[in-house]
Amino acid sequence: MNDFTGKTVLVTGATGALGAELCAKFAAAGANTVVAGRTGFEELAAALDGPALGVRLDVTSESDWAEAITRAQDRFGPVDVLVNNAAHLRTGTTEGIPLDDFRQVLDVNLTGALLGIRAVAPSMRLAGGGSIVNVNSIAGLAAAPGLVAYSSSKWALRGLLRAAAVELAGDGIRVNAVHPGIIETPLAYGPDGEELVPVGDFPIPRRADVAEIADFVLFAASDRARFATGSEFVADGGFLLGPAA
């Protein structure tokens, strides 16, 4: 079992489907859970079974990050675990996507993770080390037609992962990633409710439950994965294998 007793864990995008599940699982595992989001964070923190703090966090804002880390430290002490879970998606092709949409997706998914790592690293040094997990996507491992902004951000996030893992290793800070397949969340559907990626031909022909993906994130964040850094854990239902025979 994952044990986060006494550890302070900050989850971004905490009020989304996966984020809320992550917060619940970290709390159940004994963590001091910092619920970070733009709305609904206080209500979610109050509903968790264990010590929790809700903080407002726009991941693209350096001042929001500074405030979130300060509040977490004031309440619980140094941050031990950061989960960069916040994500933004806009559909659009390479030729067709509005430039503002493209930039907004990169700002949240890539720059937001960079700012989070920058903000939390000094706190983790105070703790003697830490664990950072970036929630990536199969869109960062394979072509994603019609999702050029999202896919570009997730491929770039892999470069950030490797750079941060090498640079922070000497401080005992591990940086890993989880690549979920299609999860049963609103991000799996387009604005008209259409299925963005059909899953019927996957070797495991369904979308993942948020609890299944959260289990991978908790493992990557935990001391059970203490020999892994710069690693990418894939939970994609066999998507990368191609269609089932």
Positions marked catalytic: 150
Which residues is 177 bridged to in the sheet?
A: 134, 232
Tokens read off for 219: 């493992």
Distance CA 14, CA 232 (A): 21
Inter-CA distances, 241 with 141, 201, 210, 235, 245, Å: 12, 11, 22, 12, 10
* Contact (CB, 8 A) for 82 and 57: no
Which helix or strand (DSSP H or E) is residue 175 part of? strand 173-180
Give 107's DSSP letter.
I
Tokens read off for 20: 């809320």
Distance CA 172, CA 54 (A): 27
